[in-house]
Amino acid sequence: MVEMTIESVRVSLMNYQRVVILKEKEADRYLPIWIGPAEAEAIALRLQEVPVARPLTHDLLNSVIGALGATVRLTADPAEVAAAERLIVPGVGAAGFAMARLTELGLVQPVRDFPRPLLGVCLGQQLLFETSEEGGGTPMLGLIPGQVRRLQPGPGRTVPHMGWSRLEIVRDDPLLEDLDEESWAYFVHSFVCPDGPATRARAEYGGAVPAVVRMANRWGCQFHPERSSRTGARILRNFLELPA
């Protein structure tokens, strides 16, 4: 049996998945193993003895928001979170693992109590809701009523929902200012939030997909604004211009 070690976790820009690079001990042979985002995120966060690429979402968000003139700080310090002018909660991977990490880092209550503008991105939007059926049932932040459910595949419709979808604005909101009916956004997700009073914009994927939600000072984007060209940049700028 050939003994292999995990050398690194890298990001593929081509299909938004991650690849685990296995290295054969005592040799220079590398074997790439492609896995989905949830499994890769779990590996990336648990491994501490190997170099791990920071999640693509965080890097792009930092770059885009920085280009819009804001000062960005990536932190897991509860005191820094509580003192921030505004807060972005990005996420990829599994809801259960994300909530476990927030709990482990002491961030659940600071995020729940945050009184200024807060934006959840992708999994970060889903975490705003009460529960997810992922993993047999996962309690989440409980800031917006409802349960996150798995997307259902159908003819010509695979899961995950991955690609560009048009946004339909259903309620005016300052986060959506200057967007129009030809605003498109880039989605990568396997679970969908409930469509209800919090929905501000929808996409269509075999049914309504709440693409932007809001409850009080908490907003969520199911899509990736950092990958959504002018639409995403406009939404991030609007977020930065919200009164803090």
In the prediction, which pLDDT does 50 show?
31
The CATH number assigned to the domain holding 75 equals: 3.40.50.880
Query: How many separate domains does the chain show?
Result: 2
Residue 184 lies in a domain: yes
From first to last of its 244 residues, the chain has per-residue pLDDT tens of 444 444 444 433 333 334 444 444 444 444 444 444 444 444 444 433 333 333 445 566 777 777 788 888 888 899 999 999 999 998 878 899 999 999 999 999 999 999 999 999 999 999 999 999 998 999 999 999 999 999 999 888 899 898 999 999 999 999 999 999 899 999 999 999 999 999 999 999 999 999 999 999 999 999 999 889 899 999 999 999 999 8
In the prediction, which pLDDT does 227 show?
87
Angle subtended at Cα 108 by Cα 77 and Cα 119, rounded to the nearest 5 degrees = 85
Q: What is the DSSP string of 111-158?
A: HHH--S-EEEETHHHHHTEEEE-GGG-EE---SEEEEEEE---BTTB-
| Residues 33 and 118 grouped into a single domain | no
| Residues 119 and 23 grouped into a single domain | no
Count of CA atoms in the C-beta half-sphere (13 A) of 31: 11
Residue 51 lies in a domain: no
| Residues 109 and 15 grouped into a single domain | no
| Residues 115 and 171 grouped into a single domain | yes
| Residues 83 and 31 grouped into a single domain | no
| Residues 136 and 30 grouped into a single domain | no
| Residues 198 and 77 grouped into a single domain | yes
Is the distance from CB of 102 to CB of 109 less than 8 angstroms?
A: no
In the prediction, which pLDDT does 68 show?
80
In the prediction, which pLDDT does 93 show?
81
Residue 119 lies in a domain: yes
Instruction: Report in angstroms the alpha-carbon separations of 205 from 38, 66, 87, 123, 150.
Output: 21, 32, 29, 17, 12
Residues with Cβ < 8 Å from 36, sequence gap 6 or more? Answer: 17
In the prediction, which pLDDT does 58 show?
58
What is the domain range of residue 175? 56-241
Residue 20 lies in a domain: yes
| Cα–Cα distance measured from residue 76 to residue 171, given in angstroms and rounded to the nearest whole number | 33
| Residues 95 and 122 grouped into a single domain | yes
Residue 135 lies in a domain: yes
| The model's pTM | 0.76
| Residues 28 and 63 grouped into a single domain | no
| Residues 67 and 111 grouped into a single domain | yes
| Residues 37 and 127 grouped into a single domain | no
Query: Strand order of the sheet with strand 30-35?
Result: 4-12, 17-24, 30-35
| Residues 88 and 70 grouped into a single domain | yes
Catalytic residues: 122, 224, 226
